[in-house]
Amino acid sequence: MFNAYIPSNSGVKKAIKKGRVLVDNEIAKTATWISFGQVIKLIEDPNKQPKVYKFNLEIVFEDEHIAVINKPAGITVSGNKFKTIANALLYNLRKSTQLDTLTIPTPIHRLDNQTSGILLIAKTKTAQIELGKQFKNQTIKKQYNAIVIGKTSTSKTINTPIEEKPSITNFEATNTVNSLKFKTLTAIKAFPKTGRTHQIRIHMASIGNPILGDKLYGNPATIHKGKGLFLCASKITFIHPSTKLQTTIKINLPQKFTSILTREERRWKSYNTPKL
């Protein structure tokens, strides 16, 4: 029985050499023979304390195997910075009691810094491997909601390659409003079949409908300051790595999505309504 988890054979060898592996409460050697029924324990390395960013996250779902959080816009998922989602997970999630529990819960995919919404987290090695396979095989279905500048087709498939790699995004328009500043704004649902960096942002800009608030791919003259990027990962469907059941998780959109459409339509009507 293990009270911690090492993901590789080389890691096990290093732990044994450092005296961190116990067999029946005695320090094991690389030559130690293991018999049926013996208890094997791993002592956590006191010199490797994980970074913990004390930042409250919205937990949408959590069990012993996985978690789903609602990532806020403006924070990076992982990387060299301290203030990341990855470093905040230990502060927010319960430690799994499974034998293959990960020392640090791990995001399975990424969202752009300015994108909000659903982020899938593995709490065990099994979950990390199984969900990784689903992403690789493109069987995980994701839905994003966005507000783009201009009027779009009712539905469309964009398959423009990104960095010479095949890239496919399907989208459908759900609402279009008039706007004094932007002329027209359209709310869309986007369904990426591939997962290229900035895929939805690049694809929508490529057809002349950049996402509202996109400073990288949008027109600088029409940047909506102060409200960030209007792109949210709102729904995900996958096979649960333990129960093997199809699981769908969705969240409500940030209030700013509804507010901007209502406000722009109201201003346009007010300006264009004849004065009596």
The catalytic position among 24, 45, 63, 112 is: 112
Amino acid identity, position 101? T
> Is the Cβ–Cβ distance between 105 and 122 less than 8 Å?
yes
Q: What is 161-227 written as a DSSP string?
A: -BTTB---EEEEEEEEEEETTTEEEEEEEEEESS--TTHHHHHHHHTT-PBTT-TTTS-GGG--TTS
Contacts of 164 (CB under 8 A, 6+ apart): none
Q: What share of the chain is helix, strand, coil (3-state, %, to 5)?
A: 20, 30, 45
Note if 45 is an active site residue.
no
Answer whether 204's CB lies under 8 Å from 187's CB.
Answer: no
Evaluate whether 126 touches 65 at the Cβ level (below 8 Å): yes
Quick one: tokens of 118?
A: 């659903």
Going by DSSP bridges, is the β-strand pair 26-27/40-42 parallel, antiparallel, or unpaired? unpaired
DSSP 8-state code for residue 222: G
φ, ψ at 250 (rounded to 5°): -140, 160
Q: Coil, helix or strand for 267?
A: helix
Nearest to 132 by CA among 241, 23, 245: 241
Residues in the chain, overall count? 276
| Token representation of residue 214 | 């996109």
Residues annotated as catalytic are 112
